[in-house]
Structures are given as structure tokens and as C-alpha cells.
Chains A and B, each alone.
Chain A
Amino acid sequence: MNTLLDETLEIAPPDSANAPRCFALDRRAFLQLFGGGLLVCLTGDHAWAQEAGRGGFARQPVPNDISAWLHIAADNRVTVFTGKVEVGQNIRTSLAQLVAEELSVPFDAITMVMGDTDLVPYDAGTFGSQSTPQMGPRLRNMAAAARQALLELAAKQWNCDAASLVIANGKVTAPNANQSLTYGQLTRDEKLVAAVSSAAPALNPATAWKIAGTPVPKANGREFVTGKHQYPSDITLPGMLFGKVLRPTGFNATLDSVDTSAAEKMPGVKLVRDGDFIGLAAPDAYTAEQAIAAIKARWTVPAQPSNTGIFEYLKNTPESAGRGGGRPQSAAQSAAAQTAPAATGSAATTLAQSYTVQYIAHAPLEPRAAVAQWDSTGKLTVWTGTQRPFGVKDELVSAFHLDPSKVRVLQPDMGSGYGGKHTGETAVEAARLAKAAGAPVKLVWTREEEFTWAYFRPAGLMELKASVHPDGTLAAWEHHNYNSGNAGLDTPYNVANPVQQYHASRSPLRQASYRALAHTANNFARESFMDELAHAIAMDPLAFRQKNLADPRLLAVLNAAADKFGWAAAKSTPTRGFGIACGTEKGGHVATCAEVAIDPAAKKIRIVRVVQAWESGAVVNPDGLRNQNMGAIVQGIGGALFEAITFADGRILNPHFADYRLPRFADAPHVEIILLDRKDLPSSGAGEIGIVGIAPAVGNAIFAATGARLRNMPMTPSGPVPGLAPAPLTS
């Protein structure tokens, strides 16, 4: 199976230097589409922007290097165009807040056009907690430049100094306040283009924010509670057919024989055969399901690894050089001692332990879906759920050998992804069927297809070894990760010369990014191990962390969570356990305290209370930030306690919600979120790192209550996980 590389999908900067800067509409087309007004484009090309003049706007050529557009229409509507997409993380709302703030317009004046490859500038995708720290400042810069351009327009009209004007709430007011003009009135009948660089006028500091920094509710929330919002799987076109694709009975299968005659006899069914790809389009979804089930195919599936022995397999089956998504190991690293320096001092305590995480599924509630349409000019338009609309466009360009101008991908706000929808399989399949059928085709993967043919959060083996002095000072540290990735591999604790290595493996399952990547696995191992070290020297786990932490931001969340939780008074008993953990990456700082209730007779645990403290710089939307933290905790409970993909010989054995347990209402604890709002620091992303604290906090709480150290995620599965010793507790 192909391994989708973490590096490719997650760590690459959203706009690397050689990324294609393709957008279909030029300035002329844009103004035809939107009428007059002020069109601002943001260019990353510093030199060009300086050359174009600091004054900002004029009738200038539009450079190729555009990362966002902003349009102010005669009716005062502000439309912002960005390649970022909304998947439930609330970025549609929070980016609009930032624009409204800098442009001095009401929040409701903003419309965000997102993820439409014909309308928005190139963007690598929505992942890696990058939308807030990267797209946020870009849009703010652009809005601030637009604001300046409007002031200059008004100054020219009134023949006065721009600095003497007041701009607020979508209006510019003259010095003596005897006249004012809305932005639309200022730009009416004009066709103005301003190109600004990312080096922009001064921005409103977070301390002065009035719209940003407030709990603005989800944009268009009403569309969601009334069922009006159209997700990708809801798109319906005239004359649309319904597609199905024949799936092999296992991974890496080869087709021996196939009989499609029964399916082809069904009314209106159009069969598509291209090598091992067999699919069909039918006039209705029911017929499509009947027809695909009527195809008789025989496949040969080769023997493949299973859960049993998977960690030995991963450790002993390295990916070939240059692949696997890890940071490349230098020759020096490889040759260097694979173990940390021995601890000095005979009194030091040394521990070594292994931790594992299983493959898990993203299981977005909306499975992959696409609607594809070819028009009479040969242009392909696809509506699909993806975190990477331009990535999917590239896949379509490549699959059908098309000129990029002949492909448009639209990404309606979707039924989420969690890192699981970076790829364009469904778009390519739907386009293939639509091309053959000569009509638009909708393809919605079944839950079983989503479980089987998407990709997984990698399984991983973490081997840790450390020494600690009797006073609690870390003396040596070593952390190896096999297969799951290098995110969060580096310890935030002070220790000299740590050995921290990621070893890429040849995964038997297709694997790629998942919310926070390998940080969840690495932090589970590290924070559980820190707890083990603390207990080994009879030190309080909080005090042990405090002693070894220098990062003031991480310390701040740790202390905030412990205070709110009442850590000092939280004494574990056999029926009640308290645990703590923390972590930081991508500008997010998290500390999590968990309280678990143990039923010793039933050997069951339940998480009853979680306190999580979070800091990611200036808060753009506190309600959204709380929601992300809460959601991360609840989602994280699944992987921590009971989620595991079981597989053998190229087959997924539990591709249904009945067999793959997800967190439900009854699993959700009482959650308290503490936000530390650092208005003096830039805003970072918050979609990922909030998930990394819950698993170790719960594991540490279970240990504190029971003395059982659970080193495998899921820690308390509902049933046996092949290859793992049964857990002493279930949940």
C-alpha cells in the first residue's frame, strides 16, 4: 500500500515557494462577475508590492503571486476569497471576524468564499493548525490595506487629508462630521484594484479588538439547524445519476474474473470497466446499490499482516530510505549511539518502557462524497468534501490529462475530516463515472467504504528510556517512535542531549494524517512515562513536571489546569483516580487534568471530569476555542479508551459503527475549559493540540487509582484487540 507522507500532507508550508499559483479568474473576469467596487489582492511578492507604490491602489496589473482576494461592492457587501475550508473548526467565522475587525465593518457584512478553485487563490490546504496563524494575518493585512485605500478615496473626493478622516462601521466620515460615505458609495461605479504586499499598514492590536476576540456565533448557523446547508453529499444536479464502485475483497487484490451481466440488464444502468476499476451509474441510488451488489467478481487477496504482531512488524520493517514521512535521519544520527547517555550518579533512577497505539479511523460522520459534472466544453466541475481542494484539482488534472483551467473543485462546508480528507479518491471516481455516463454523477461512499478505503491514523510503537536524579531532575532521555510519526516527538522538558528518533516503517495499512498527527501517540508515551518516573521517585506528578519545565507558556497552562481542577487536594483512592498531562506544539499549549471513577467489581472505568487549560496567543473567538478544546477531548477519549481498527490479510474486520466504538453521550465527561488569552502574542491554530492531553491524563488517573499502568492505546477496549494482552479494565 502507498503510504501518504506526513511531510507531504501536513508539514509542508501552505505556500511553499514552488507551489503553483493558479487561479482561474483574472482581474477583468473578477470585476465582470462582481461588478464595480474595490478589489484588493494580497501578494506575497515583496519587491513587486514596493515597486507598485506604497500608496496602495491604482489601476495596476495583478501579479501572479496572490494568496487572497477581497472585494467591496457598491452594496457594501464585503466578499473574501480564501482557499481555506470550513470543516467544523469554525474558521469561516473566525477569519471573517479578523477581516471585519481590520476593515471596520460589521461582522454580518462579510461573506467568505472558501475552497472554490475557480474563485480563490491557490492554497495547499486546511491542516496543521495553519489557518489562524497564516491566513489570519494575511487577511488582516489585506483588510487594513483596503481600509487605507478607502480613506484615500474619501480624502480625494473631499479634497482633504486622509489622516483627518474617521473610519468606522463601514463608513468614512469627514473631519467636521457633516458628511459621510459608506464604503459602497465610495467605490460605486469604480473598478479599482489594489495590490498589497503582506508587509502591511499597522494592524489593530488584539487589546483593541471589538469584533475579533469575541464569541461571535457560527456564521450561517441557522442554515445548519434548519437542514438548508448543502454538504458535499447533498449537492443535487439536474439529470444527475448515482454512482457505485466495485470494491475488491481486500487490499492489494487482483481481479480474477467478473460477471457484470446481471447489473447491465438493470434499467438505466451504465457500467464502466477500466482494468480493475469497475463502477456504474444508475438513475437512482436504489438501483445503483442493487446493480453493484449483482456483480459477481472473484479476487485474489495476498496474505498480509494483522493486528497480531503488528508492533514487531513495524519495528522490524523499515520504510525504504527517503520515504515514510519522517524527518530524514542524518548519517551522524544513524551512526550515533542509539541510546541516551548513561545517567550520571549512582543514585539516579533509570526506567525503560514501551507504549503502543493502534490504527484508528477518522470516521467523519459525512463519508467521502463527490458530485462530478462535465460540460460541453470539456470542463470538469466537482463538488466534494476535502481539506485540499487544490490537491484534489491536481489529482483530477492528472487522472484525466486535463489543462488546469478545465477543472474546478468546490468544497461546500463539509461533515468534517479531522485530517482524514486530504485525498481525492471519490472526486476521481465520480468524474470517471460521469465521463463515461455522459451525465453528472453523485458518488457517496458507504460507511463501510469510508472505514476500509480511506486511510488510517498510523499505529505506532514508542520506546522510552530515561534517568532521573533523586531531586526530580531529568538526567537522560531517549524516545523512539516506530511508524506513527515525528510530530510531538521532542520533549518540552529540560534534559541535556535527548535522543529522539522517528523510524519510518512500511505500514501494512494505508495511513496518513490525523488531527495532531503523531503528537497524540508521542505525548501519550512521554506523559505516561513522566508519570512513571515521578512515581518511581515518589514525587508528585505535577511537581515533577514543574521542576523540569522552563517554557513559561506551558507552565502557565499546567498551573491553571491544576488550580482549577483542585490538584493539591485530589487524593486518589481505589475507586477514584486523578491524573495530569500537558503538551505543546504549533503555538498551542495544553494541560489536562482528568478524574476517573472505577467500579472495582465490574472492572470498569468512566471519565467523570476533565479540566483543560489552553493557550494559543490572542484569542480570536473564545466560543470557538472552547468548542475545539471540548471536541478534541471527547474525540480523544475514543482513541484513548476504545477505538482500534482490527484487520487481517488485507481486510478491515470492524468497518461498522456497531463494531468500531466511537465516543457517545454516555462517554462524555463534564468538561471545563480554561482559556488563557495572551493578547500580546500572535494567534495560533487550535484544531489539533487540544487532543494530546486527554489520553495520558486518563491513563495516569487510572494508575493513581488502581496501580495498573496501561501502556497501550486504546487502554480499555470493549473487546479483545488481537495481539494485545487483555486490559484489566473496560470502559
Chain B
Amino acid sequence: MSDFTLTVNGAKLHVSAPADETLLSVLRNRLSLTGTKYGCGEGECGACTVLLDGHAVKSCQTLVADAASAKITTIEGLEQNGQLTPVQQAFLDAGAFQCAYCTSGMVMRATALLHATPNPTEAQIVSGMNGNICRCGTYPRIVDAVQRASRSMPAHSAAKGAAR
């Protein structure tokens, strides 16, 4: 076991964990941040997507030791003072979910995508999001949500959201 101080959603959190435990496992099982989901543990579904320094990563493929020096943003860290981010709001407005188990990962992936590409084409959204699975099949609505978020974002607000 090693002691880590993780920066999660702006807070310093102390946790003891083996250095080779995944960030997903630490978030969910040691820090009770269960908004980040387990879908496959193999990096194939994207349900566990979080941001490290604003970049989307699959937390099931990231060791806690490798995340210790980064600013970690999870789905719980997007809403600020009761205000949803444009991406979260767009998912609500587009009804871009059914069971919504994939939604955390989709929202995090879309946040990073819009940070890097504020005005993506449909093809860019499809290729950027293609690592995330929605088994309920709401992909067309998720594409719609990302387009809505892109339109509703003031310039560079995605960057601010992603860097939190």
C-alpha cells in the first residue's frame, strides 16, 4: 500500500492504495466517487472516462500512481454552484440517454472533445466518441447533444470546464 494525495474535482484527497490499483477502482471503491462507471475494465467501453489535466482517459486503464500528479475531474466535479456545464445541459435537453449508465463517460468524453475541437463536424464527433458504448443505442441523440453543447458554449468555456 502507498499513500497518495489525489487532486479530484479541486479537492485534495488522501488515499492509501496499491500503486498498481486502477484509478477507476480507487475512485469508486476507496473514495466512493461512484459516478464514474465500470463497464468492462478493458478500455473498450469508455464508461469509466475521466479527465486528467483536461484530457479524457479511461480510468480502468490508468493506474492510481500515474494519476497522482494530475488534476483529476470526474462527473461529480462538473456542476459548479448548482450550474450544469453546457455538455451536461445538452444531454438533458437532447434526452441523450436511456438507462444513462454510459452517460458519465459520454459527458466526460464530450467535454474533452469540445475542449480540443470547439466546433466539431458530425464526423469528428463520431470518431471522437467512438470509444464509448451506449448499449441502449442512443448514439444519434448523443451526437445531437454534443452539437447542441458546441452551439451553446461561449468561446472557450469548454476549455475552462475541462481544466477544472
Q: Please, how many residues of chain A have a CB less than 8 angstroms from a CB on the other chain? A: 57
Interchain CB contact (< 8 A) of B29 among A222, A242, A447, A637: A242
Taking CB atoms, residues of chain B closer than 8 Å to A666 are: 126-127, 130
A291-299, A625-633, A674-682: which lies at the interface? A625-633
Question: Judging by beta carbons under 8 Å apart, are B100 and A229 in contact?
Answer: yes
Partner of B42, one of A224, A415, A630, A658: A658
Pairwise interchain contact A627-B17, C-beta atoms closer than 8 A: no
Q: Which residues from chain B contact A630 at a C-beta distance below 8 Å?
A: 137-138, 140-141
Specify which chain A residues have a CB less than 8 angstroms from the CB of B150 in the assembled complex.
Answer: none
The answer, yes or no, to whether A189 is at the interface (CB within 8 Å) is no
A623 contacts partner chain B, Cβ-Cβ < 8 Å: yes
Q: Does B51 contact A (CB under 8 A)?
A: no
| Contact of B47 with A365 in the complex, beta carbons under 8 Å | yes
Q: Is the CB of A226 within 8 A of B79?
A: yes
Separation of A200 and B77 alpha carbons in the complex (Å): 48
A154 to B28, CA, bound (A): 51
For residue B25, give the distance in angstroms from its CB to the closest CB of chain A.
Answer: 5
**Residues of B close to A233: CB separation below 8 A:** 34, 37-38
B99 — which chain A residues lie within 8 A by C-beta? Answer: 87-88, 364-366, 413-416
- 0/1 interface trace, chain B 126-137, chain A, CB 8 Å (1 if under): 110110111111
Once bound together, how far apart are the Cα atoms of A666 and B134, in whole Å?
12
Q: Would you call A365 and B101 a contact (CB within 8 A)?
A: yes
For B39, give the chain A residue with the smallest CB separation. Answer: A365
The distance in angstroms between the C-alpha atoms of A242 and B30, with both chains bound, is: 11
Chain A, range 223-258, C-beta contacts under 8 Å to B: 224-231, 233-234, 236, 242
Q: Is B84 in contact with A627, judged by CB distance below 8 angstroms?
A: no
B140 touches A671 (CB 8 A): yes
B59 at interface, CB cutoff 8 A: no
Contact check, B32 vs A634: say whether CB atoms are below 8 A apart.
no
A444 contact set on B, CB distance < 8 A: 38
A286-B18, A365-B133, A662-B135 known; A224 and B100 CB under 8 Å? yes
Least CB distance, A376 to chain B, in whole angstroms: 25
A5 part of interface (Cβ distance < 8 Å): no
In the assembled complex, which residues on chain B have CB atoms less than 8 Å from the CB atom of A236?
A: 32, 34
Chain A hits for B36, CB < 8 A: 227
> Which residues of A sit under 8 angstroms from B38, Cβ to Cβ?
233, 367, 444
Which of chain A's residues 53-87 have a Cβ closer than 8 Å to chain B? 87
Let me know if A218 and B95 touch, CB within 8 A.
Answer: yes
Residue numbers in B under 8 Å from A416 (CB-CB): 98-99, 101, 135-136
Asked if residues B135 and A363 are in contact (CB atoms below 8 Å), the reply is: yes
Centre residue among A88, A222, A226, A415 by max chain B CB count within 10 A: A226
Q: At the interface, yes or no: B162 with Cβ under 8 Å from chain A?
A: no
Least Cβ–Cβ distance between A62 and chain B, in angstroms? 34
Given A88-B136, A227-B35, A656-B76 contact (CB < 8 Å): no
Query: In the complex, A415→B48 CA distance in Å?
Result: 14
Of B29, B30, B97, B130, which is within 8 A of A224 by CB?
A: B97
- A630 CB, min distance to chain B CBs, angstroms: 6
- The DSSP consensus for interface residues of chain A is loop
Bound Cα distance from A671 to B140, whole angstroms: 8
In the complex, A437 has a CB within 8 A of chain B = no
With both beta carbons as reference points, the residue of chain B lying nearest to A634 in the complex is identified as B137
CB closest chain-A residue, reference B76: A227
Q: Give residues of chain B (8-36) contacting chain A, Cβ–Cβ below 8 Å.
A: 17-18, 21, 25, 28-30, 32-36
Give A436 to B141 CA distance when docked, in angstroms. 46
Q: Which A residue sits closest to B99, measured CB to CB? A: A88
* Cα-based distance from A632 to B136 in the complex (angstroms): 8
Q: Which residues of B contact A627 (CB under 8 A)?
A: 95, 98, 138, 141
CA of A632 to CA of B98, assembled, Å: 11
The secondary-structure label for the interface of chain B is: loop
Residue pair B47, A664 in contact (C-beta under 8 Å): no
Residues of chain A from 597 to 649 with CB closer than 8 A to chain B in the complex: 623, 627-628, 630-635, 637
A275 interfacial by beta-carbon distance below 8 Å: no
Q: What residues of A have a CB within 8 angstroms of the CB of B100 in the complex?
A: 88, 218, 221, 224-225, 229
Instruction: Please state if A366 and B101 are interface contacts (CB–CB under 8 Å).
Output: yes
* CA of A645 to CA of B102, assembled, Å: 23
CB distance from A265 to the nearest CB of B (A): 16
Residue in contact with A662 in the complex, picked from B92, B103, B133, CB distance below 8 Å: B133
Residues of B near A231 (CB, < 8 A) are 34, 37, 101
**Cross-chain contact of A230 among B34, B75, B79 (Cβ < 8 A):** B34
Q: Which of A89, A222, A286 contacts B17 (CB 8 A)?
A: A286
**CB-defined contacts of A367 to chain B, threshold 8 Å:** 38-39
Report A648-666 CB contacts with B as 1/0, cut-off 8 Å. Answer: 0000000011100011111
Q: Does B52 contact A (CB under 8 A)?
A: no
Please report which residues of chain A, range 579-611, place their CB below 8 angstroms from some CB of chain B when the two chains form the complex.
none
- Near A by CB (< 8 A), chain B positions 85-144 give 88-89, 91-92, 95, 97-104, 107, 125-127, 129-130, 132-143
Cβ 8 A contact of A90, one of B30, B35, B98, B140: B98
B78 at the interface (CB under 8 A from A): yes
Distance, CA A233 to CA B137, complexed state (A): 21
Chain A residues with CB under 8 Å of B130's CB are 664-666
In the bound assembly, the distance between CA atoms of A7 and B43 in angstroms comes to: 38
A217 near B: Cβ within 8 Å?
A: yes
Q: Is the C-beta of B45 less than 8 angstroms from some C-beta in chain A?
A: yes
CB–CB A225/B138 < 8 A: no
Question: Is there a chain B Cβ closer than 8 Å to A670's Cβ?
Answer: yes
For residue B134, give the distance in angstroms from its CB to the closest CB of chain A: 8
A663 CA to B102 CA in the complex, in Å?
14
Any B CB within 8 A of the CB of A285: yes
Q: Would you call A631 and B98 a contact (CB within 8 A)? A: yes
Are B137 and A631 in contact, CB atoms less than 8 angstroms apart? yes
Task: Pull 27 A–B residue pairs with CB atoms less than 8 Å apart, ordered by A.
Answer: A88-B99, A221-B92, A222-B92, A225-B75, A225-B89, A227-B36, A227-B75, A227-B76, A231-B37, A285-B25, A365-B99, A365-B135, A367-B39, A414-B99, A415-B101, A447-B41, A632-B137, A633-B137, A656-B42, A656-B44, A657-B45, A658-B42, A663-B137, A664-B130, A665-B125, A665-B142, A668-B139
Interface on A for B, CB 8 Å cutoff? 87-90, 217-218, 221-222, 224-231, 233-234, 236, 242, 284-286, 363-367, 413-416, 418, 444, 446-447, 623, 627-628, 630-635, 637, 656-658, 662-666, 668, 670-671
Interface residues of B (CB under 8 A from A): 17-18, 21, 25, 28-30, 32-42, 44-45, 47, 74-76, 78-79, 84, 88-89, 91-92, 95, 97-104, 107, 125-127, 129-130, 132-143
Please give 20 more A-B residue pairs, beta carbons under 8 A apart, in addition to A221-B100, A664-B139.
A217-B95, A225-B92, A226-B35, A226-B88, A227-B74, A231-B37, A285-B25, A285-B28, A286-B21, A363-B135, A365-B99, A413-B99, A415-B101, A447-B40, A623-B95, A631-B137, A633-B137, A634-B138, A664-B133, A665-B125
Smallest CB-CB A-B distances: 8 pairs? A227-B35, A634-B137, A88-B99, A415-B101, A227-B75, A88-B98, A657-B44, A234-B34
